[in-house]
Amino acid sequence: MDDAVITVLREHEEVGIDIPSDGEMRRDEMVEYFAERIRGFKFYGPVRVWGNHFFRKPAVVNKLSYIEPIVVDEYLFARRHTLRPIIKVTITGPYTIADWSFNEYYESKEELTFELAGIVNTELRKLEEVGATYVQVDEPALTTHASEMEWAVQAINKAVEGVNVKVGLHVCYSNYMLLKPYFDILNVTQYALEFANRGFRDLEIVKGLSKELGFGVIDVHNKAVEEPEHVAKAILKAMEYVNPEYLYINPDCGLKLLPRDIAKAKLRAMVEGVKIVRRELSKRGLTQIPLHTKV
C-alpha cells in the first residue's frame, strides 16, 4: 500500500497536479473503511448494490465511539512523500456513512447521523492538529433523500465545527437543485461538484456562488480520454458563472475504478486543458487567477 501511494503521488506530480492526494489506495470502500475503524459497527456480509457489485454494508449495533485516528496516518505518510505544499485528504461524511449502513441501535437515522458527525469532527480536528490544511468531506448520499436534507446539512456543519482548515464538500451524480438552497448554510469553503458526466449542464446552479468551486471536468465513468481543448472550453464557460479566482479544477469524482493508464492520461489532459486556459487568461492580462488543479 505504501508503494501504491508513492506511485500515485509521483503520477499526480508528474502530470502537473498542484494538489495531489494519496489516491485512497488503502481504502477498499468509502463507508466500509470508516465503519471498520469506528467502534459500534458490525459486518454481516456483502450486499448487492448495482449490477454484480457488492459491498460489505455495515450495521450499527451499538453506541458508536471514536477509538483512534482513522486517516491521520494516511495523511502523514502522503505528506512525507510529496514535495507539493498542499495535499488533499478525504473523509466520508456522517450522512453518507449513516445512509449506507443498517441502523440497528439508534432511535432514528437523524440521531445516528449526528453521532457520526461528532466522530467525524474529532477526526477532522486531529487532522488539523497534525498539520492538514485541506480536507474534503465526501457526501454522495446527501441529496438522495430530499426530506432529510434539512438536518443532514446541520449534521455536516456539526462535523466541520471548529475546524480551521480548508474544507471541501464533494457531492456527485446528484440533483444539484436540491443542494443549491444550502450553499450558504453549509460551513464549508468549497463545493467539489461533477459537471463533465452531465455534459456541463446545470452550470447555472453555481451562478454567483460565494464559495470556491471544485469544478469537475473529467468524466470518471467514461474511458475515453478528454481533449485538453474540450477541458479548456468548459473552464472558460464556468468562468462566466463563478468568480474565476474561486475555481479549482478537478475530475468529477474518484478515478479509482479506471485503469491506471487511462486515469493518468485523463489527469494529464485536465492539466493540459488548464494550461490552455492560463495562456488565454494571460493574453487577457488576467495572470492573477491561480486555477489550481487537484484530484
Residue 90 and residue 35: Cα distance in Å, rounded? 15
Q: Return the C-alpha cell found at 231.
A: 477541458
Give the rounded distance of the alpha carbon of 176 from its chain centre: 15
Of 172 and 270, the one with the shorter C-beta distance to Zn ion is 172
Beta strands in the chain (DSSP E): 38-50, 53-66, 89-92, 102-103, 134-138, 166-171, 190-194, 212-218, 247-251, 292-293
**Residue 253 in the binding site for Zn ion (CB under 5 A):** yes
Which window, 73-81, 144-152, 170-178, 266-274, contacts Zn ion (CB under 5 A)?
A: 170-178
Q: Return the C-alpha cell found at 208.
A: 454567483
Tell me the number of residues near Zn ion by CB under 5 A: 2
**Residue 179 in the binding site for Zn ion (CB under 5 A):** no
Give the rounded distance of the alpha carbon of 127 from its chain centre: 16
Which window, 106-114, 154-162, 250-258, 263-271, contacts Zn ion (CB under 5 A)?
A: 250-258
The neighbouring-strand residues paired with 135 are 89, 167
**Residue 172 in the binding site for Zn ion (CB under 5 A):** yes
Which window, 1-9, 38-46, 152-160, 169-177, contacts Zn ion (CB under 5 A)?
A: 169-177
Which window, 19-27, 63-71, 168-176, 260-268, contacts Zn ion (CB under 5 A)?
A: 168-176
Estimate the share of the chain in helix, then strand, then coil, as percent rounded to the nearest 5. 40, 20, 40
* Least Cβ distance, residue 248 to Zn ion (angstroms): 15
Q: Return the C-alpha cell found at 69.
A: 485516528
* Least Cβ distance, residue 194 to Zn ion (angstroms): 6
* Least Cβ distance, residue 35 to Zn ion (angstroms): 18
* Least Cβ distance, residue 139 to Zn ion (angstroms): 9
Of 64 and 142, the one with the shorter C-beta distance to Zn ion is 142
**Residue 193 in the binding site for Zn ion (CB under 5 A):** no
Name the 3-class secondary structure at 40.
Answer: strand
Binding site for Zn ion (CB under 5 A): 172, 253
